[in-house]
Structure 1
Amino acid sequence: MRTDAHAHLWSEAYLRLLESYGRRDAAAHRGLGAGDSTRDLDARFAMNDAAGIVHQILSVSPQGPYFADAGQAVTAARHANDHYAGLVRDWPARFSAFAALPLPHLDASLEELARALGELGMVGVGVTTDVLGRSLGDPAFTPLFEELDRRGGVPSLHPSGHDAGSPLITAHRMRWMVGAPTEDTICAMHLILEGIPRRFPRLRIIHSHLGGALPLLLPRADDHLTWEAPDVVEKPTEAARRMYDDTVAHGHAPAVRAAADSYGADRLLLGTDFPYQSGQQLRRAVSFIEEALPPERAEQVLTAGALLSGRSEPQGVVQGECDGPL
């Protein structure tokens, strides 16, 4: 079953709630066709059908429920998760969902994680590449990774849209064209250098956008370990193959080939970034994988996300160190 593991949906009620708590960028996600109205859903399903996409796994990222006030964070996370659970109940053949967590509040996040993966039946968690400016490699987040590892869980990581903390991105109109894949790259390297993939081998980490620039940088990172990070015991080329990456690359077939050569095609899964790739771009998000990879490998990538949703078991997916494939 062809499953899109990188797709967004925001309800108007959720965006208004975030705005009431002071979020200033929520309005940018209105009017994109990624709402929950009948009109938006009908149009989404028609585009998915035209692209051959059967199922989508939803995430509210980058509009995560991250607030310094714990009460606000918990209220927003529960709102998002309850809404997604309702959509999945109404459209089980069309949708699964990644849970939102009230980070950086760890006790509350672990409680919501248990509710979301248990009572609500979500397939993993959606987290941004930083949480209020804090790296996911920060030891403060270790309890979250420990619990996800215990469960063989799936953290799906998405850029936060915070320009990787760089004014050279902020001031030069590159937040999403350059800033987002830069955040993907930095986040992946933070996790690698902190040993997260090796320490928690049952984690099934998914990075967005092919891991940013990571396919181009892994041998360089290996070579620089000895003088820049000599305490790291696993080479980045090895650690990267413990993780997964979605295929959002805006139809650029050489990028997918580079990622498949760097990580292995068994570490890739279809992502579209809906609604940012819609219509013809959505169809291209599928067809360029078929163009870039041999048929068997392409179909493996296009169906790999089905293992997350539990709807299907595609053939040929190579098992990692987690309990099962992907």
Structure 2
Amino acid sequence: MADLAGTDPRRIDVHQHVIPPARARAMTGRAAAVGWPAPSWDERGAIEMMDRRAIATGMLSYAAPLAGPDDPAAARETARSVNEYTAELVKNRPDRFGHFAALPLPDVDDALAEAAHALDELGADGVVVLSNAHGRYLGDPAFEPLWAELDARRAVVLVHPTAPPGTPIPQVPLPLADFPYDTTRAALHMTMRGVPRRYPRMKVILPHAGGFLPYAAHRFALAARLPDGERSTTPEDFLADLRRFYFDTAISTGASTLPSLLAFAEPGHLLYGSDFPMLPEEWGTDFDTALDGSPHWDAGRLHAVNRGNAELLFPRLADGDRPG
């Protein structure tokens, strides 16, 4: 039985991006470098898009490296600038926007300081990190103090994909293949290092249905039988750790993708994502239509994806008006 709750304007979009005016040129250059249409963003246009697409609130994040690998000072300054700009948007329109604060990894001390500032002073709803920090993946032992702090805070963490190390394949845009690959790589590295198990209070969202993780999860569970690493003791334990992740639906509602995600993920761990404006709106509406029109919904589950599950992660957005 199809659930039509997605037709009312109540979605919570956990994967929506902000481009501060000071970062517009950098983001245009970034798009050209990865072979993708250049995005444009402003507050009014974002709200108009949300109204057209039944999105009540967009959780904003900045989805690009903050600076080059040899300039931690610039990364620190950019993170602070982006976070303060976004916090002001949320302060003015808390009903329409939320905020994942950017952290200047791989410098853990700077990331800890920025997380404290953003969560305590700016009222951020969570934090965003890239799937690798200039080639260092998220299971790196050096990042352990950050995960411990975010776990203590019960923080929500969005892991946004970026380009993996190495040379891109000619004529294959990085966001199409390499970004979901890097999301998968980051999640697998975290799990093999035991991060989700050690820090269960930290809620980690993997965009784009977790890349290839749901499709290949049982293959990845063979890692539990390998002799080295901080790993779970059985494939079943490893799968349970992979299911600790949350997943969004951005660019992931196709006829073969969505069933794989639904078969793998915990029901309460599925969230709506648009990826606007990195995904042009005219493309994104096709994925919205596929999501709402899927024949795989049990009663109430589409509403949970569109809104209900996000309300549990972000209680300030809960309105108590859920369909029966």
Q: Does 1:12 align with 2:21?
A: yes
Please give the residue correspondences for 1:77-156 in structure 2 after superposition, counting only pairs within 5 Å: 77-156=79-158
Q: Scaled by the length of structure 2, what TM-score is found? A: 0.85
Aligned to 1:321: none
Q: Scaled by the length of structure 1, what TM-score is found? A: 0.85
Question: Bigger relative contact order, structure 1 or 2, given CA contacts below 8 A and separation 6+?
Answer: 2
Query: Matches of 1:73 and 1:26 in 2, distance apart?
Result: 19
Aligned to 2:211: 212
Question: Structure 1 pair 193/31, CA: closer, same or farther in 2 (3 Å)?
Answer: closer
2:304 is aligned with what amino acid?
A: Q
Q: How many residues align?
A: 304
Aligned to 1:319: none
1:225 is aligned with what amino acid?
A: A
Shift >6 Å, 4+ stretches: 26-30
Q: What percentage of residue pairs aligned between the two structures are identical?
A: 31
Q: Does 1:302 align with 2:306?
A: yes
Structure 1 residue 107 displacement after superposition = 1.4
Structure 1 residue 265 displacement after superposition = 2.5
Please give the residue correspondences for 1:282-301 in structure 2 after superposition, counting only pairs within 5 Å: 282-292=284-294, 293-301=297-305
Query: Matches of 1:95 and 1:231 in 2, distance apart?
Result: 38
SS of the equivalent of 1:165 reads: coil
Unmatched 5+ residue regions in structure 1? 317-326
SS of the equivalent of 1:274 reads: coil
Question: Structure 1 pair 188/62, CA: closer, same or farther in 2 (3 Å)?
Answer: same
Query: Matches of 2:223 and 2:187 in 1, distance apart?
Result: 16
CA offset digits 1:153-195 (Å, max 9, x no partner) = 11100111x2x2243x443424111101101111110011011
Structure 1 contact 2–302 (Cα < 8 Å) conserved: yes
Structure 2 contact 206–248 (Cα < 8 Å) conserved: yes
Structure 1 contact 290–299 (Cα < 8 Å) conserved: no
CA offset digits 1:22-45 (Å, max 9, x no partner) = x962777995232x3xxxx33322
Question: Structure 1 pair 230/144, CA: closer, same or farther in 2 (3 Å)?
Answer: closer
Query: Matches of 1:174 and 1:101 in 2, distance apart?
Result: 26
Unmatched 5+ residue regions in structure 2? 1-9
SS of the equivalent of 2:256 reads: helix
Structure 2 contact 214–260 (Cα < 8 Å) conserved: yes
RMSD: 2.5
CA offset digits 1:200-249 (Å, max 9, x no partner) = 01010001110111111111122353136575225331111111011113
Question: Structure 1 pair 279/107, CA: closer, same or farther in 2 (3 Å)?
Answer: closer
Question: Structure 1 pair 285/201, CA: closer, same or farther in 2 (3 Å)?
Answer: same
